[in-house]
Homo-oligomer: A and B are copies of this chain.
């Protein structure tokens, strides 16, 4: 029905004033997504505006009726808001792309990384889930390795920036830095401990098996996206005192032999992946260098000699962009390309 939207789409962003929501709006503009009208929504309006294509767009308080006439809605407003409004929007014919964890593991909801499993969108019934940021940057590389040599087991340790916890967490880290520079004792308003002086091995809540929900997301979301329900994968998820972009140390056991050079080639062939791997020139992916990019950067590709067919690598991506906002917009682009925007009900 792309052809039935010659003037573009009515696009809503829920959570328009948050870190991810603002970035969604920026990315829509940067990528020239065909927006006929932007509807900026938030849990509370607060008399704010956001800027889109040189215009000030008022931020409206979200209501079920906000989605009448909306073709595509990008949600980044937390799980409970999403649980409440995504069905309301979908019932009105709007395609919801949701960045919360609320719908990701629902068997009826596609969970999509744009370059890995776009065909999952074919089954969408109005709600599509955007994966967790730490999963997002990992799965394209796992897909490349699965196709090249078969995945046997994956162990991941994450180095996640504070922006994964939102804009307030970024300010909190900045405050902690200032306190340290002044010679004071840093405290955190956003984390259980002061992350400025300790990596914190606890992201999201703890589950009964001793893992955290963040670690569990990496396991279960990766399995769902890759369509490998029994993939052997384990994670330790850690917050580090860095503002933006997540890094991950990954050790993979493959079914068949694969040299580091072959692995680099497989990675480079994956859309949206850039290989940065020249140790002699101090070149490897770095959080700060990846900020603002939509690419997934991989380097330190080497054999893991501790296991047969072992490969290790280091992957970095901007968690707010590819890890959240950009992939949501890329899903919207796929919906348009694949003619899967059903169109708001009242115009059908």
Which positions in A face B, CB cutoff 8 Å? 153-155, 157, 159, 174, 177-178, 180-181, 192-194, 197-202, 206, 209-212, 219, 232-234, 236, 238, 240-245, 247, 249, 251, 260, 279-280, 282, 284-289, 299-307, 310, 312, 314
Contacts and interface: CB of A to CB of B under 8 A. Distances in A.
Contact of A287 (B197, B280, B282, B285): B197
A316 B248 CA distance: 19
Given A159-B159, A282-B193, A201 B314 contact: yes
B192 A307 contact: no
Contacts of A260: 210
Contact of A240 (B240, B244, B307): B240
Given A181-B181, A240-B242, 8 more contacts: A155-B306, A157-B249, A198-B289, A199-B247, A201-B300, A210-B302, A212-B279, A240-B241
Residue among A199, A219, A282 with most chain B CB within 10 A:
A199
A282 B192 contact: yes
Q: How many identical subunits does the complex contain?
A: 2
Given A280-B206, A284-B202, A306-B153, A242 B197 contact: yes
A307 to B, nearest CB: 6
B155 A251 contact: yes
A199 B306 contact: no
Contacts of A304: 155, 234
21 contacts: A155-B251, A159-B240, A174-B180, A181-B181, A198-B242, A198-B245, A199-B247, A201-B249, A201-B284, A202-B279, A202-B282, A209-B302, A210-B300, A219-B306, A234-B251, A234-B304, A234-B312, A236-B249, A238-B247, A238-B249, A241-B242
B209 A303 contact: yes
Nearest to A210: B302
Given A236-B314, A241-B242, A249-B238, A206 B279 contact: yes
Contact of A310 (B174, B234, B310): B234
A279 B203 CA distance: 11
A233 B305 CA distance: 8
Nearest to A285: B201
A306 B232 contact: yes
Contacts of A232: 306-307
A197 B153 contact: no
Contacts of A233: 306
Contacts of A299: 201
Residue among A178, A198, A241, A314 with most chain B CB within 10 A:
A198
B288 A197 contact: yes
Nearest to A159: B199
Contact of A247 (B180, B201, B210, B234): B201
A306 B230 CA distance: 9
A199 B236 contact: no
Contacts of A238: 159, 247, 249
A28 B304 CA distance: 40
A316 to B, nearest CB: 8
